[in-house]
Each structure stands twice: as structure tokens, then as C-alpha cells.
């Protein structure tokens, strides 16, 4: 159940701190509160509640604001609730009518916030906020506005500036009467993306891919198998204890000593390692048979244990296949028992040749705002999604970009022909050994290489400042939402915040 509040933002005179002092209008949280269209974004959040019964949910502004505070200040869930409880500016940012010394919500609700504000909602909120900020910037360019109390109140109060953020197209590119006729003559209409309102190219699209590592132990085959055995041994122990059944032999001490012998060895010989893997494979297989026998007798494990057993069966099959075929590669390789959706992403970096986390494609427009184009847990060739990124640019701006800045992996023959068809400039090294051998970098190529650094700067800031360097969430859904939140924060949080 969800109730929409009549007033989302209180002005400075209505907001009562309880200390008798007025709130500082130049505070960073006060200014940030006026740059986000809370009302428009709340409509997306309210759609998650269809039931008319039950207790009212926490307001959207409180939910999203708490997640933003957690990432900006790099706090835990409990520390975030305490910081909000102690700071009146944070409570103002969350839309609270007056300061209260009581906690606004229980820390456990932070998990529900991360689940309810989905990836799709955050991407839509990101687009709404970008459009909102662009209109505020254009208004400040055309008018002389006082930077103190009146301007902040007008953007923060629902009765003040409230641009129509539903208009996602740039008005500069209006629909031409003979547009479709010209499009039919110039292009193949089946190739034209949706949302195109002008044949004029405008702006620059910068795109690149990166990986957002999650917080898991670096996976090794022998340690992953030993971890599987320890979990199976614990499940067998619980089943036997709960049902007063004698526990079969699982040899935990023997296997522990064998594992430490391998783990502590400075040099792990191939024969010694394969011998231990064979031994632990047999132990995991034996543990799975014990569990099957207990289930056949009517002794069932708990629900979470059933999920763990299912994942371990897949790990055993994959590790057995690699051991029998003497290889280290297998399709959809599982590297974590409790995060089986994580896949190894080969990035080719010197310090981190392989990373473990979702792979994302992010684009920057001419104004420097970031857009999450694609997110996947499986490795993919980012060059195959350049057309989708251009189509998304057209949908947002109503025209094709004038230039695309991307690294060599995006500059395939197919992508170059696509850009050439729609008059999009893409500078890069020519394809073919003979052409590339005679090619020399031009001034335009060097300048484009400098401009493309903007996307690397965005990646660095999002990872170091907004939690994408090591994601602490544990489920596939919350990891995705955290990535989208980090991209959103990169757009709304100014440098030096």
C-alpha cells in the first residue's frame, strides 16, 4: 500500500529543526534537494504498490534519498539510519517536515528499498532528472536568478519551478513536414530508430564498457570445491541433528588438513593440485549421495539449503568436466556458491586480467550526462551494441549524433558502415593490415582520443565515490540496482560535493 503525500518539500520557514535556528540555504544537501524531480520520479515508484490494503509504505523520497546518502557517504545500512537521525540537513533532504531525534525507519528496510527501486525505474529516473537539470540550466542562462533563498525554494517547492519532464525530446529539432519523404529518399526507413525527429546530426556520443566487481573471494577451483564440501557437511549435520539420525562419515578433519597442505604451499605443483581436486571431487560426490539418501528417507533440508545443494551440483558437474578433460574453461562457469549469477569477465588489464561482476556499457552525451546502455552478468562483445546505443541517443535527443567516440573494439566494419550511412563521424585506425600500416594519426584523431577520456573519468568517479569499485550487495537484483544508482549519482552529484 502506498499513500502519496500532499506536500513533498517544505520550504525553509516551514521546516522546523527544533533548535530555534533557521536551516542554512547554502548547505550542499539543501541545494541537492532542488535538483531532483521528486514528484515525477515518485510516479514510477508508486506503480510497485497495487494493493489498496496494508500499512502505508515509506515515502519514495525517503527511500531513494536514504540509498543516495548511503553511497555518497560510504556508510553501512545501520550507519546510514544513525546519520539521518543525527543530521537535520539529511532529514530535510529526505523531505521530513521537521527535525526528529527518532530514527525514521529500521535499517533492515534499506534492503527493501534496494529491491523496490528497480533497474528500470532508476534508468527512467536518471533520464527524468537529466532532462529536469537541463531545463534548470537553460532557465538560469536566460534569467538572472538569485542563488540564495528564492531560487532554491522555487526548485525545491512543488509550487515553484516544475518543468514538464515528460518531454524527453530536444525542442531544437522539430518535426519537418517533408521529413518522412526525405527519410524515404535518403535512408532505408526500416533502419531508422524510433524517436527520430530531425535528419540533422547534432552532439557527440562517447561510449565504453567496464566491469563493476562484486565483493567475492578470488575463485580457485580447489578452494571452491572445498567450500562446497564444507557447506554440504553442514547441511548433512543439520539434517541428522534435527531428525535424530546418525551422521554418516564425511571426513572433515582429513579433508581440512589436505586443503591446508595445498593452500599454504608456496608452489602448487600440477600433479599435487590435481590429486587434491580428485580427492575433493570424490568427497563432494559422496556428500551429495548422502543427502539424496536422507531425502529418500523423508528427511528434507531447509529451503535455502535446497538452493545451495542445487548450485553445488552444478559446480560439481562443471569441475568434474574440467578435471576429466584437463581444461580450465567451461560454459557459464560458477565462481561463487552464494552468487552463482556472477561470471568471470576477461578485461585484459595488467593488474586485473579477470574481474568478477556485471559488465556495463555506459554512454556520455554532449552535456556530460551518463546513460546506462546495457548491463549483463555474462561476457559479451560491446561492439555489437553500438547500434542500440545510437538508437537510444536518437530516442533521447530526436536526432543522430554528429560524432561517436569509442575505442577500437567498437569500430567494426559493420558499425563503420552504419555510422557512414547516417553521416556519423567515427575516427579511428583503418581496418586491414596494409591500410593500418600506412596510416598515421591525424590531429582530429588525437583530439578525439583526448575527448574520449571523459568516459574513463566517469568510470573512475562512479567506482571510487559511489560504490561501484566493490559492490557489497548479494543478489542479482540488488547488484543491478546498485550499478544503476551509481550511474544516477554520477549525474546528480557535482564535483567537490
**pLDDT tens, residue by residue, 326-340:** 998 999 999 999 999
What residues have CB less than 8 Å from 461, skipping those under 6 apart?
490
Q: Which residue has the higher pLDDT, 439 or 416?
A: 416
- Provide, rounded to the nearest whole percent, the portion of the chain with pLDDT above 90: 65
Helix, strand, coil percentages for the chain (3-state, nearest 5): 50, 5, 40
pLDDT at residue 97 tops 90? no
Rounded Cα distance between 368 and 63, Å, is 27
* pLDDT tier at 1, thresholds 50, 70, 90: low
Rounded Cα distance between 257 and 1, Å, is 55
Burial of 406 (0-12, 13-18, 19+ CB in 10 A): buried
What residues have CB less than 8 Å from 378, skipping those under 6 apart?
332, 343, 359
Quick one: pLDDT at residue 181?
55
Span 452-466, pLDDT tens digits = 999 999 999 999 999
Give Dmax (Cα) for the chain. Answer: 83
Span 24-37, pLDDT tens digits = 888 999 999 999 99
Average pLDDT over every residue of 170-181: 46
Average pLDDT over every residue of 365-375: 93
**Cα–Cα–Cα angle for 397, 402, 404, nearest 5°?**
95
Average pLDDT over every residue of 439-450: 89
Rounded Cα distance between 360 and 376, Å, is 7
pLDDT at residue 10 tops 70? no
Rounded Cα distance between 222 and 239, Å, is 26
* pLDDT tier at 82, thresholds 50, 70, 90: very high
Domain ranges of the chain: 1-168, 169-214+350-492, 221-324
pLDDT at residue 496 tops 50? yes
Quick one: pLDDT at residue 20?
57
Assigned architecture for domain 169-214+350-492: 2-Layer Sandwich (3.30)
Please provide the average confidence, as pLDDT, over all residues in the chain: 86
List the single range of 126-140, 168-182, 254-268, 477-491 with lowest mean pLDDT. 168-182
Average pLDDT over every residue of 377-403: 92
* pLDDT tier at 146, thresholds 50, 70, 90: very low
Quick one: pLDDT at residue 196?
84
Rounded Cα distance between 470 and 454, Å, is 22
Quick one: pLDDT at residue 431?
85
List the single range of 133-147, 159-173, 303-317, 339-353 with lowest mean pLDDT. 159-173
Instruction: Name the region of 467 (left: φ>0; alpha: ψ -120 to 50; beta: rest).
Output: left
Amino acid at each position: 500500500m502506498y499513500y502519496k503525500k500532499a506536500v513533498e518539500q517544505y520550504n525553509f520557514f516551514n521546516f522546523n529543526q527544533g533548535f530555534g535556528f533557521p536551516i542554512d540555504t547554502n548547505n550542499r544537501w539543501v541545494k541537492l534537494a532542488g535538483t531532483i524531480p521528486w514528484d515525477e520520479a515518485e510516479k514510477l515508484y508508486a506503480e510497485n504498490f497495487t494493493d489498496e490494503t496494508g500499512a502505508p509504505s515509506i515515502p519514495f523520497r525517503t527511500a531513494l534519498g536514504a540509498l543516495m546518502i548511503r553511497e555518497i557517504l560510504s556508510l553501512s545500512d545501520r550507519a546510514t539510519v544513525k546519520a539521518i537521525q543525527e543530521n537535520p540537513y539529511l532529514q530535510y533532504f529526505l523531505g521530513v517536515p521537521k527535525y526528529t531525534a527518532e530514527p525514521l525507519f529500521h535499517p533492515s528496510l534499506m534492503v527493501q528499498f534496494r529491491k523496490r527501486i528497480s533497474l528500470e525505474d532508476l534508468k527512467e529516473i536518471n533520464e527524468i532528472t537529466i532532462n529536469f537539470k537541463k531545463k534548470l540550466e537553460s532557465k538560469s542562462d536566460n534569467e538572472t536568478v538569485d542563488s540564495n533563498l528564492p531560487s532554491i525554494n522555487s526548485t525545491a517547492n512543488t509550487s515553484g519551478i516544475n518543468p514538464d519532464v515528460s518531454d524527453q525530446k530536444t525542442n531544437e529539432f522539430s518535426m519537418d513536414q517533408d521529413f518522412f519523404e526525405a527519410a524515404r529518399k535518403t535512408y532505408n526507413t526500416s533502419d531508422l530508430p524510433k524517436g527520430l525527429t530531425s535528419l540533422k546530426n547534432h552532439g557527440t556520443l562517447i561510449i565504453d564498457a567496464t566491469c563493476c566487481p562484486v565483493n567475492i573471494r578470488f575463485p580457485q577451483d580447489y578452494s571452491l570445491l572445498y567450500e562446497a564440501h564444507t557447506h554440504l557437511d553442514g547441511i548433512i549435520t543439520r539434517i541428522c541433528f534435527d531428525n535424530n539420525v546418525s551422521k554418516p562419515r564425511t571426513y572433515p578433519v582429513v579433508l581440512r588438513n589436505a586443503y591446508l597442505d595445498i593452500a599454504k604451499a608456496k608452489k602448487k605443483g600440477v600433479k599435487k593440485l590435481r590429486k587434491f581436486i580428485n580427492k575433493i571431487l570424490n568427497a563432494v560426490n559422496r556428500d551429495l549421495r548422502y543427502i539424496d539418501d536422507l531425502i529418500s528417507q523423508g528427511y528434507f533440508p531447509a529451503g535455502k539449503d535446497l538452493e545451495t545443494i542445487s548450485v553445488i551440483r552444478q559446480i560439481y558437474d562443471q569441475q568434474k568436466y574440467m578435471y576429466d578433460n584437463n581444461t580450465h574453461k567451461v560454459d557459464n562457469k560458477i565462481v561463487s556458491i552464494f552468487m552463482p549469477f556472477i561470471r568471470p569477465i576477461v578485461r585484459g588489464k595488467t593488474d586485473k586480467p579477470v574481474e568478477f561482476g556485471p559488465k556495463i556499457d555506459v554512454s556520455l552525451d554532449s552535456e556530460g550526462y551518463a546513460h546506462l546502455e546495457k548491463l549483463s552478468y555474462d561476457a559479451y562483445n560491446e561492439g555489437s551494441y553500438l547500434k542500440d546505443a545510437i538508437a537510444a541517443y536518437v530516442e533521447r535527443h530526436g536526432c543522430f549524433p554528429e560524432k561517436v567516440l569509442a575505442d577500437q573494439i567498437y569500430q567494426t566494419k559493420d558499425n563503420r558502415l552504419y555510422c557512414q550511412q547516417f553521416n556519423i563521424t567515427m575516427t579511428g585506425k583503418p581496418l586491414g593490415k596494409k591500410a593500418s600500416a600506412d596510416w598515421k594519426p591525424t590531429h582530429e584523431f588525437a583530439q578525439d582520443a583526448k575527448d574520449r577520456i571523459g568516459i574513463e573519468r566517469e568510470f573512475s568517479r562512479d567506482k571510487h565515490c559511489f560504490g561501484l569499485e566493490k559492490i557489497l550487495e548479494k543478489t542479482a537484483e540488488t547488484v543491478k540496482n546498485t550499478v544503476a544508482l551509481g550511474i544516477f549519482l554520477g549525474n546528480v552529484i557535482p564535483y567537490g560535493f
